Amino acid sequence: MSKSIKKIGVMTSGGDSPGMNAAIRAVVRTCAFHKVDCIGIYRGYQGLIEGDFKEMNARSVNNIVNKGGTILKSARSQEFRTVEGRKKAHSNAMEAGLDALVVIGGDGSFTGAMIFSQEFDFPVMGIPGTIDNDIYGTSSTLGYDTALNTVVEAIDKIRDTASSHNRLFFVEVMGRDVGHIALNAGVGAGAEEILIPEENLGKDRLLESLKRSRESGKTSSIVVVAEGDTTGENVFDLKDYVEQNLPEYEVRVSVLGHMQRGGSPSCWDRVLASRMGVKAVESLLDGKSNYMVGIQDSKITLCPIDQAVKGKTDIDLELLRVSDIMTT
Ligand code: F6P
């Protein structure tokens, strides 16, 4: 293993997600294992610009594998979008003796890493950390599995009260402009309808489906709505539309919001984070740069970072069909 890399910086950037701490822990401990120094960078690129650094060692990451959030904090940095901001960041990295950077975040964070690497010929490695699971080059992003379980648990609770009051609930979930959380958690929670941005079948088909549910004897329903869905203006517009057209329905809305970003990471996310952290550091030590660590068919892989930022993830059409059948 080439040792031209002597000191690695690690940061978390963009929306936080469960598993980020497990990934930080894996990066720090893999550095320690290979006797490479590691510097924690607070608040993503903004911390790099401000020189907000902390020396890390194997003990610095005790007892965090099970913690949601990120001990290095996260942020979105407008200043890093400027050449001056990136020059400040690079100068701080040089002053701190950094030889490479591991960025744990989403596609926006990887775009910044790619530009920074190109401008300063600086080695970078990305680890996909976002609950949205919307990054090309990996079948799972850190936090996605935990978010699915959080959403399913929340919907199970909503279903208790929906069935007690014979109500229809619209439950809005995160995912930015993709429907992975809505589709998978919707199937998992047995939702009667799932609305995702990848397909818009219109409000009237929704009414038809709700009518069919009622005629089949269902006295309460759950409709999971991805926040990027375009069937209605928003989830409250859908509520109004159903109340106007199906007055027999008593309708409520529950927007799950940022609780989907929290919580102790699932075992899957902890193991994935550990595997990705090791791969990221050892790839840098092998002289590789400008990749995103991913997982494909259970194997840890490297995807060129320019593909990860440009590619998009598709909805699983087979699961879409399962969802349709389950709503019979
Ligand atoms: O990208 C993760 C995510 O939670 C999205 O699902 C959501 O749309 C967005 O972040 C919310 O961003 P913020 O935390 O800035 O409100």
- The per-residue pLDDT for range 281-308, each reduced to its tens digit, is 999 999 999 999 999 999 999 999 999 9
Question: Would you say 101 and 5 are in contact if contact means Cβ atoms under 8 Å apart?
Answer: no
Structure tokens at 88: 């400040």
Q: In this model, does residue 211 exceed pLDDT 90? A: yes
Pocket probe mutation, ligand 1, options 135, 142, 174, 234, max atoms within 8 Å of Cβ:
174
Segment 172-179 mean pLDDT: 97
- According to the model, what pLDDT value does residue 1 have? 47
Q: What is the CATH number of the domain that holds 54?
A: 3.40.50.450
> What pLDDT, on a 0 to 100 scale, did the predictor assign at position 311?
85
Residues with Cβ within 8 Å of residue 23, at least 6 apart in sequence:
104, 127, 129, 142, 273, 274, 276, 277
Which amino acid belongs to residue 71?
I
86 and 21 co-located in one domain: yes
Of the three residues 261, 278, 295, the one that is the final residue of a domain is 261
Residues 220 and 256 in one domain: yes
As a whole number of angstroms, the distance between CA 251 and CA 253 comes to 7
Decide whether any atom of ligand 1 lies within 6 Å of the 261 Cβ. Answer: yes
Q: Which tens digits make up the pLDDT trace of 266-288? A: 999 999 999 999 999 999 999 99
Domain boundary residue, one of 261, 295, 321? 261
Active site residues: 132
Amino acid 49: pLDDT: 98
Residues 119 and 194 in one domain: no
In a domain, 322, yes or no: no
Q: Report the number of distinct structural domains present in the chain.
A: 2
126 in the same domain as 22:
yes
The answer to whether residues 239 and 153 belong to one domain is: yes
d(CA 308, CA 128): 9
131 and 11 both lie in a single domain: yes
Mutate to test the pocket of ligand 1, among 12, 77, 131 (most ligand atoms within 8 A of CB): 131
Please, which residues have CB within 8 angstroms of residue 122's CB and are 6 or more apart in sequence?
90, 93, 100, 101, 116
226 lies in some domain: yes
Q: Residue 139: pLDDT above 90?
A: yes
Range of the domain at 207: 145-261
Mean pLDDT of the chain: 96
Let me know if residue 1 belongs to a domain: no
Q: How confident is the model at residue 327 (pLDDT cuts 50, 70, 90)?
A: confident
Exposure pattern of 228-261 as b/e (b: 16+ CB <10 Å)? bbebbebbeebbebbeeeeeebebebbebeeebb
Considering the domain architecture, whether residues 256 and 288 belong to the same structural domain is answered as no
